[in-house]
Amino acid sequence: MALKEPFLVKLRNGISMPLIGVGMYRVKGQECVSTVIEAALEAGYRSIDTATGYRNEDLVAKSLSLFLPRNGLNREDIFITSKLAPKDQGQEKSVKAVYLSLQKLSTVYLDLYLIHWPGTQGLSPEDSRNLEFRRQSWKALEELYEEKKLRSIGVSNYTIKHLTEMLTYAKTMPHVLQVEYHPHYIQEDLRSFCKEHGIHLQAYSSLGTTVCNSPLLSDPVVLEISEKYNKTPAQILLKWAIQQEIGVLPKSQNPDHIKENMMLDFIMEDKDMKSLSSLGIRTKYAWDPSQVA
């Protein structure tokens, strides 16, 4: 993988992917979705991250049909990601789910499609059938990738155990892994695995806002560094990631914050990067997939 400007990464298969995308998690209702999409496109975002489970794919499509032309853009100018819901794990269900996402998003292809969770809805985390269902799902995604319905494929919330299993059954290893990753939850072993196998690491919950009153945004070291660079704590946390070539998906329904989160054209000194990487805190603010068999 190689960085391209501005804020682009080239995936293992040669596809260029923006390092910064707008997250659509918990963005509900046409008015809110339209507000986010309009502000994001105007601010320069060219990547949109949604999912079957977010229940807003059709709203995203309607917003894009309106705001792409207003910004002089077309479908080929943006990178759309969606994800397979746990209820749709398995060979046949996953194929149907992809085509339904294509229909809802009013597109003939998706730039990236992820298995959202290593488990299957209705099974306990310890159930050994989880492995077989996600194996079937991956086989389906590989076929749709070969058919060019999906320009790249990946997984979300997979641990090293889940990824290592994939080495035994995947013809194509994931192009992208999307997981929780921030200065309070650094997964260095996972990042090393991704580097070894050419998997781009993309972070969600970069700001720790899956919980109320994010401890990340009020961390004393983050605040000190934000004052030094005259940037917001959110900008510091996002820059910490992309300066390491880790993708980010900041989400906000505030147009001003959406714009701020894209204003990352500064460089942090090595000592500040090291300070953020050595806080000595290991706290997960989102879901824990480690118990999924």
Catalytic positions are 54
* Three-state DSSP state, 196: helix
- CB distance 57 to 105 below 8 Å: yes
User: Residue 173 and residue 20: Cα distance in Å, rounded?
Assistant: 23
- CB distance 81 to 48 below 8 Å: yes
Residue 114: enclosing H or E segment and its boundaries? strand 112-115
Of 86, 24, 95, which Cα lies nearest the Cα of 54?
24
User: Residue 245 and residue 265: Cα distance in Å, rounded?
Assistant: 14
Q: Residue 229 has which token pair?
A: 């660079």
Q: What are the angstrom distances between the C-alpha of 3 and each of 11, 77, 137, 152, 237? A: 9, 18, 30, 17, 19
